[in-house]
């Protein structure tokens, strides 16, 4: 049996094995997009390249025989550069959105498409959990957010954007009116203490996410009540105070303490906070700039200066967020800052390198033309956008009067917890979503390895392909723009003796995977649709209902 070394680790493999199989036997993750165990290698993606010492050449590991005495390098800078280039070449011809435009348009980067799918499925609790993973005050923002996510919603180009904010308000209303609002699970106490200066949207959000990470949070605010700009800059009609109070109380129920009437500790000293607590977050609004000098913090005309992405100030252990660093910004941006600062502070308290919220890799299609939108529209509800009945009359129609059968909702919930939409209206509205995000977001190997190797989607510029979507199959969708021509689906269909199957169509750079003889996808994949979906490395083939 051949014995070889990969990254100076010795392994013995059965005769006929490849270098890729030998690496997997060692637990080494060599990326491979066009190879599937049990099928012959096509060596088309060139992402699995390794260096063979002695011959000093690079070769695709999936198609290179493992020979006795061979020495392989798989994790050098040179090999990584080659893999990165291969990934960037694939990405230059790849047409698909990893993340939906609405997700990227939301300052808090909430998983809006997931929320919408859960509402359609009548899973309002699941939808609320999805929302509160990223937004600590959804009932508040459901009323006052200017909805930047809706401004980039693709449905808007066809008729009108999905009413994302009102749907967020709906799931939050059902939760608050239930009498037992959702509390997220919290990690065991870490023993670390965080002082938060300011009980506005940034400070409250930071406390919400820090408490979940097991840290003890104490908020100090100079006003009589917590809420900050949410109280100063809105009317009771725009934001009913009962709604604000209810959402603040859910945060306090996580063990967060609030001390009003002071911006600092018992002796009104910022220094005392730094001495008493393990970390300090300054989130007291634009007025923080005037305090910065006395607190020893660097500031500009805009606000306290922080390191981009980490919210770290010039003072060790002190962070700042919201209007304290921006001067003036949207409330949703302040809430997003609070979440981001919580991530950074948690990293700091855990002794990790402080990097802040990780950036999610995503390719972007950009604007779709009217003809390109048509296939997406056929898969969504044709209903027009409808505003909730009664909106504009004070706080809107009473949610429970219009939806008395809502499961889990208290029978006599007060008017301020109006959700705008009834459950039926909300489900109909959510069904208008075009599902712009990738159905294989968490399984796409191209995205996984592109992020791992730092591949740049636009490094190699190419003319954008026309967006196409084949929905003829009862259960499976095919997006040709995502296909990297790996040929795995062709091999699977051929091995299963599908009567029609799939094939490569065209020549040269124009070759594409398609159905021969102008057949339909339903005819091509009669028995192996599930196998092809599972094997597809880019979710070009995906389940409709995912």
- Residue 10: CATH number of its domain: 3.10.20.740
319 within domain boundaries: yes
Q: Tokens representing 485?
A: 């021509």
Q: Which residue has the tokens 């500031």?
A: 299
Domain boundary among 349, 376, 396: 349
**197 and 339 share a domain?**
yes
DSSP letter for 387, please: P
**41 and 106 share a domain?**
no
Q: Tokens representing 129?
A: 């959990």
Compute the Cα dihedral for 56, 57, 61, 66 and give only its sign: negative
388-403 burial: b if 16+ Cβ within 10 Å, else e: bebeeeebbbbbbebb
CB 2 within 8 A of CB 15: yes
85 within domain boundaries: no
Angular region, 468: left φ>0, alpha ψ -120 to 50, beta rest: beta
**217 and 345 share a domain?**
yes
441 within domain boundaries: no
Give the domain CATH number at 210. 3.50.50.60
Angle at 408 between CA 405 and CA 409, to 5 degrees: 65
**337 and 222 share a domain?**
yes
95 within domain boundaries: no
CB 65 within 8 A of CB 45: no
Nearest Cα residue to 446 out of 142, 95, 191, 204: 95
**128 and 226 share a domain?**
no
**229 and 335 share a domain?**
yes
- For the chain, the domain total comes to 4
**199 and 321 share a domain?**
yes
Q: Which residue has the tokens 């303490």?
A: 257
299 within domain boundaries: yes
Instruction: Give the three-class secondary structure for 347.
Output: helix
Residue 430: phi and psi, rounded to 5, are -65, -30
**147 and 242 share a domain?**
no
pLDDT tens by residue, 396-430: 333 434 333 444 443 333 345 566 888 899 999 99
460 within domain boundaries: no
Domain boundary among 289, 320, 349: 349
89 within domain boundaries: no
Residues 6+ apart with CB under 8 A from 370: 157, 158
Give the domain CATH number at 485. 3.30.70.20
pTM of the model: 0.91
Q: What is the residue range of 377's domain?
A: 101-181+365-430
Q: How far is CA 301 from CA 137, 201, 228, 316, in A?
A: 29, 22, 21, 22
Q: Which run of H or of E encompasses 216? A: strand 216-221
**197 and 176 share a domain?**
no
The alpha helices in 253-330, defined as continuous H runs, are 270-276, 288-295, 323-326
**513 and 534 share a domain?**
yes
List the pLDDT tens digit at each of the 546 positions of the chain.
999 999 999 999 999 999 999 999 999 999 999 999 999 999 999 999 999 999 989 999 999 999 999 999 999 999 999 999 999 999 999 999 999 999 999 999 999 999 999 999 999 999 999 999 999 999 999 999 999 999 999 999 999 999 999 999 999 999 998 888 999 999 999 999 999 999 999 999 999 999 999 999 999 999 999 999 999 999 999 999 999 999 999 999 999 999 999 877 555 688 889 999 999 999 998 888 888 888 999 999 899 999 999 999 999 999 999 999 998 999 999 999 999 999 999 999 999 999 999 999 999 999 999 999 999 999 999 999 988 865 433 233 334 343 334 444 433 333 455 668 888 999 999 999 999 999 999 999 999 999 999 999 999 988 899 999 999 999 999 999 999 999 999 999 999 999 999 999 998 778 899 999 999 999 999 999 999 999 999 999 999 987
**387 and 510 share a domain?**
no
Q: Please state the length of the chain.
A: 546
83 within domain boundaries: no
**243 and 109 share a domain?**
no
Nearest Cα residue to 384 out of 210, 83, 161: 161
Domain boundary among 283, 318, 349: 349
């Amino acid at each position: 049996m051949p014995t070889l070394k990969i990254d100076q680790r010795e392994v013995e493999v059965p005769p006929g094995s490849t270098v890729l199989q030998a690496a997997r036997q060692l637990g080494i993750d060599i990326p491979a997009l066009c190879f599937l165990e049990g099928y012959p290698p096509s060596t088309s993606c060139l992402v699995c390249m390794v260096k063979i010492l002695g011959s000093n050449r690079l070769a695709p590991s999936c198609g290179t025989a493992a020979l006795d005495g061979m020495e392989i390098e798989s994790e050098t800078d040179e090999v990584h550069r080659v893999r990165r280039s291969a990934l960037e070449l694939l990405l230059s011809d790849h047409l698909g959105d990893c993340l939906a435009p609405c997700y990227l348009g939301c300052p808090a980067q909430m998983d809006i498409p997931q929320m919408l799918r859960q509402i359609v499925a009548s899973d309002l609790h699941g939808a609320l959990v999805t929302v509160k993973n990223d937004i600590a005050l959804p009932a508040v923002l459901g009323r006052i957010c200017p909805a930047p996510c809706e401004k980039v919603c693709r449905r808007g180009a066809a008729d009108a954007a999905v009413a994302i904010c009102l749907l967020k308000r709906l799931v939050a209303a059902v939760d608050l009116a239930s009498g037992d609002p959702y509390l997220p699970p919290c990690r065991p106490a870490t023993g670390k203490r965080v002082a938060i200066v300011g009980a506005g949207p940034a400070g409250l959000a930071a406390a919400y996410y820090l408490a979940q990470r097991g840290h003890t949070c104490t908020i100090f605010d100079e006003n009589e009540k917590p809420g900050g700009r949410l109280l100063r800059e809105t009317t009771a009609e725009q934001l009913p105070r009962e709604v604000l109070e209810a959402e603040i109380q859910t945060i306090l129920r996580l063990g967060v303490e609030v001390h009003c009437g002071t911006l600092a500790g018992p002796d009104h000293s910022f220094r005392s906070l730094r001495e008493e607590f393990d970390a300090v977050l300054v989130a007291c609004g634009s007025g923080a700039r005037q305090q910065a000098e006395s607190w020893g913090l660097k500031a500009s005309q805009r606000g306290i200066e922080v390191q981009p992405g980490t919210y770290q100030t010039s003072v060790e252990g002190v962070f700042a967020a919201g209007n304290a660093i921006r001067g003036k910004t949207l409330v949703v941006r302040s809430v997003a800052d609070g979440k981001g600062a919580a991530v950074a502070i948690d990293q700091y308290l855990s002794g990790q390198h402080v990097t802040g919220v990780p950036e999610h890799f995503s390719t972007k299609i950009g604007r779709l033309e009217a003809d390109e939108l048509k296939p997406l529209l056929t898969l969504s509800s044709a209903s027009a956008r409808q505003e909730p009945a009664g909106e504009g009359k004070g706080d809107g129609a009473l949610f429970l009067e219009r939806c008395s059968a809502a499961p889990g909702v208290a029978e006599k919930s007060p008017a301020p917890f109006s959700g705008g939409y009834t459950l039926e209206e909300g489900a109909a509205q959510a069904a208008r979503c075009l599902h712009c995000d990738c159905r294989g977001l968490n399984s796409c190997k191209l995205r996984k390895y592109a992020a791992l190797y730092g591949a740049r989607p636009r490094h190699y510029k190419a003319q954008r392909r026309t967006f196409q979507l084949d929905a003829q199959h009862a259960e499976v969708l095919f997006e040709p723009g995502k296909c990297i021509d790996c040929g795995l689906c062709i091999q699977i269909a051929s091995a299963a003796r599908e009567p029609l199957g799939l094939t490569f169509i065209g020549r040269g750079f124009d070759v594409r995977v398609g159905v021969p003889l102008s057949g339909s996808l339903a005819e091509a994949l009669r028995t192996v649709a599930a196998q092809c979906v599972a094997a597809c490395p880019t979710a070009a083939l995906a389940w409709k209902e995912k």
